Amino acid sequence: MTTTELPDTEGAAPQTLSTDRRPRFRLPFSPWHLVLIPLTFLLIVPLLWMLITSLETEGEANRFPPVLLPERPRFANYSEAWAAAPFGHFFVNSALVTLVVLASNLIVCSLAGYAFARIRFLGRGALFVTLMATLMVPFQVTMIPVFLIVKWFGDNVWAGLGIDHIGALMLPNLATAFGIFFLRQFFQTVPVELEEAARVDGTSRLGVLFKIVLPLSLPAMSTLAALTVLTSWNDFLWPLIVITSQDQMTIPLGLSYFQGAHRVKWPLLMAANVMSLLPMLLVFVGAQRYFVQSVASTGLKG
Amino acid sequence: MPARVATSPRSSVLGRIIRSDNVSGWALVSPGVVLIGIFGLLPVLMSLQLSFQKSDLLTPETPWVGLENYRKLADDPVFVEAIKHTIIYTALFVPGTMLVGLLVAAAMNRSLRFMSVYRTAAYITMAVSTISQGIIFLWLTDRDYGLVNAGLRAVGIPSQSFLASPSQALFVIVAMTIWGWTGFSVIVYLAALQGVPAELHEAAAIDGASAFTRFRTITVPLLGPANLFLLVWLTINALQLFDEVYATTRGGPLRATTVIVYYLWDRAFVHFDAGYAAAMAYALFVVILVITAIQFRLARKHVHSS
């Protein structure tokens, strides 16, 4: 971490502006806290307000100016919200979809990423460019045909993969061109000598990948995992298109459905909102490093 | 890396093919290639075909209508309006998010006690789903009981309708999505700021440059790659705005927040006019490609990539 503030210049040239302006007394803490505390507060006000409203009675919520702290926190909003819609179902569905998509992406993308990074095979260059070209296509261009393809899978292969089944939420997302690209870039930085030694000893390609390359690639895998979890868990448009039955809904879709049914019952709605957000927020704070890394690496290396 | 096959001692022709890098390479990429082929590549072609057809997504008959969908597009006042809304949204959201992200990142780019707490608070907006965000902001900006209106009243400004007002709704969505993307842009800018060498600042400070001058003349130019990334990434995402509109205004009031993707979804999956929606999707695709190309062209002139 570098600090952009200039270090103490007390001993340096006395005419610099910054030393002149320095106040005589010193705060017991950095004055930057006086900027950062209000700034941070402002950023999390929406979340705080959600939390506060979720503990109010409907009478308290419908008052102006607003009640800033409920007289007695009303936790019943949570149990009422939980009972009013199958949130348990939503959680299980979201978790299932995310886990399957995550596992598949890590496996499929590392296999392909490794091959693109290390193996010279016929058509590699053209194939890679073709896959990467799909990264430029926005989802809206492909979503109507993907709907038709998924429908076909449901009608002809297995109903569990078709429209209105959570399988339809997994199927189109089992691999991403971005994941392949990202892991390929990382695998290329792994020293090739390690692999060559093992290859000479007769280890297969898969053996090399799983025993040597992947253990060295845990940071990259975790980063891709964080990105995949966030994208999959919060996905909305695709579930909205393919899912109509409540028992197949994921959290964002279920929450939106709940919103439609309880439009202005704000405390109830906010309790549902807090419950929906909690798993992802906990995961995010717990694995923050990887989430941060996933954004920083897409931005600066990608 | 040279092919290893030649060194294998007992190589029959078949063995050579099976062991060759061609087979292992294709075997390893095939699951990914098949999946992306079916769900990434094939739909691009199908979508193009669909845009020349009439389809309701349900009946198998999809008569060929030639360029009619595209012609309809040019004459559709709602589509023209949707483009206008999308452009206004993008023009405000992208620079807004970059500015907020840069200011917050600059404030947080120092080592202080509790800094990790401050940063977590900024990052966390990233984890909030778009639907949750929409519900929270509907409530925050509620005309009768909203917290924002309470704040306005406190400083003597009358209550506003915000998301319920045709003239304000789009701007509320801009503000809401800037909040939602703050975590993302702060992370990008913080990573970039940490790459700015401290010695440059120290040297300039000794020469008497003020903090603001140093920020403007040293930090900002070195942020070129981060700026370019955010510009492109945020623009692509802004042109695809959907979730937040769905969660708050459903394109209203009076279609004031009907953006391209919302209209597209509405045509395809509410009114089952999939051919027309496919034409719209292709138009959006071309627009995104052109804008991205222009941004890269401009950036090549101005960004000094390290």
Q: pLDDT by residue (tens digit) across B272-301?
A: 999 999 999 998 899 888 988 888 888 777
What SS3 string covers B114-158?
CHHHHHHHHHHHHHCCHHHHHHHHHHHCCCCCCHHHHHHHHCCCC
Please check whether residues B102 and B214 belong to one and the same domain. Answer: yes
pLDDT at B16: 61
Whether B17 maps to a domain, the answer reads: yes
Listing DSSP states for A193-210 in one string gives HHHHHHHHTT--HHHHII
Number of domains in chain B: 2
> What gap in Å lies between CA A272 and CA A77, rounded to an integer?
8
With respect to residue B66, please indicate whether it lies within any of the assigned structural domains: no
pLDDT for the residue B232: 87
In a domain, B58, yes or no: no
Assess whether pLDDT exceeds 70 at residue B231.
yes
The more confidently predicted of residues B67 and A13 is B67
Hey, is the C-beta of A44 within 8 angstroms of any chain B C-beta?
yes
Q: Are residues B151 and B198 in the same domain?
A: yes
Which residues of chain B does A144 touch, with a Cβ-Cβ cutoff of 8 Å? 43, 47, 50, 57, 268, 274, 277-278, 281
Nearest to B28 among A61, A111, A137 (CB): A111
Burial B178-187 (b: 16+ CB within 10 A, else e): bbbbbbbbbb
The per-residue pLDDT for A177 is: 93
pLDDT, one tens digit per residue, over B97-117 is 999 999 999 899 888 888 889
Contact B133, B247 (CB under 8 A): yes
Chain B contact present for A202, CB below 8 A: no
Q: What is the mean pLDDT of residues B39-58?
A: 91
| Domain identity same for B172 and B214 | yes
**Rounded to an integer, what distance in angstroms lies between the CA atom of residue A253 and that of residue A210?**
37
CB atoms near residue B71 (< 10 Å): 12
Segment 180-209 of chain B within 8 Å of chain A by CB: 182, 184, 187-188, 190-194, 196-198, 201-202, 205-206, 208
My answer on whether B91 and B135 are in the same domain is yes
Token pair recorded at residue B163 = 């998301």
Residues B38 and B162 in one domain: no
Q: Do B129 and A3 touch (CB under 8 A)?
A: no
pLDDT at B12: 64
Identify whether residues B278 and B192 lie together within a single domain: yes
Cβ proximity of B169 and B148 under 8 Å: no
- pLDDT at residue A112, as a whole number: 96
pLDDT at A12: 40
Q: What is the chain B residue with the closest CA to A113?
A: B29
Distances (CA, A) of B142 to A162, A262, A271, B134, B161: 39, 15, 17, 12, 7
Q: Which B-chain residues 136-155 have CB contacts (< 8 A) with chain A?
A: 136-137, 139-140, 142, 144-147, 149-150, 153-154
B304 pLDDT exceeds 60?
A: no
Residue among A43, A65, A141 minimizing CB distance to B125: A43
Is B170 within a domain? yes
In a domain, B64, yes or no: no
Label residue B2 by pLDDT band (50, 70, 90).
very low
| A-contacting residues in B 61-120 (Cβ below 8 Å) | 104, 106-115, 117-118, 120
Query: What fold does the segment set A85-261 form as a domain?
Result: MetI-like fold (1.10.3720)
Backbone dihedral region of B162: left (phi > 0), alpha (psi from -120 to 50 degrees) or beta?
left
- A161–chain B Cβ distance below 8 A for any pair: no
Per the prediction, chain A carries an average pLDDT of 87
Query: What pLDDT digit, counting tens, does each position of A106-124 carry?
Result: 999 999 999 999 998 888 9
Instruction: Mutation target for A interface from B139, B193, B222, B242: give the one with most A CBs within 10 A.
Output: B139
Is B25 contained in some domain? yes
In a domain, B61, yes or no: no
Domain that holds residue B245: 71-302
At B17-28, the pLDDT tens digits run 655 788 889 999
Beta carbons of B28 and A65 less than 8 Å apart = no
Instruction: Dig out the tokens for B298 from the structure.
Output: 């401009």
Q: Do residues A169 and A151 make contact, with C-beta atoms less than 8 angstroms apart? A: no
Using alpha carbons only, give the angle B263, B266, B271 rounded to the nearest 5 degrees: 135
Those residues with Cβ within 8 angstroms of residue A284's Cβ, 6 or more apart along the chain or in another chain: A230, A291, B123, B124, B126, B127
User: Does B32 share its domain with B82?
Assistant: no
B18 inside domain: yes
Q: Are A260 and B151 in contact (CB under 8 A)?
A: no
CB contact under 8 A, B33 and A127: yes
| pLDDT < 70 positions in chain A | 1-24, 299-302
Q: Render pLDDT for A19-53 as a digit per residue (tens, 0 to 9).
A: 455 556 777 788 888 889 989 999 999 999 999 99
Question: Could you tell me if B265 lies within 8 Å of chain A, comparing CB atoms?
Answer: yes
Segments making up each domain of chain A, as ranges: 21-81, 85-261
| pLDDT higher than threshold 70 for residue B76 | yes
| Closest residue in chain A to residue B181, using alpha carbons only | A43
Q: What is the pLDDT of residue B221?
A: 80
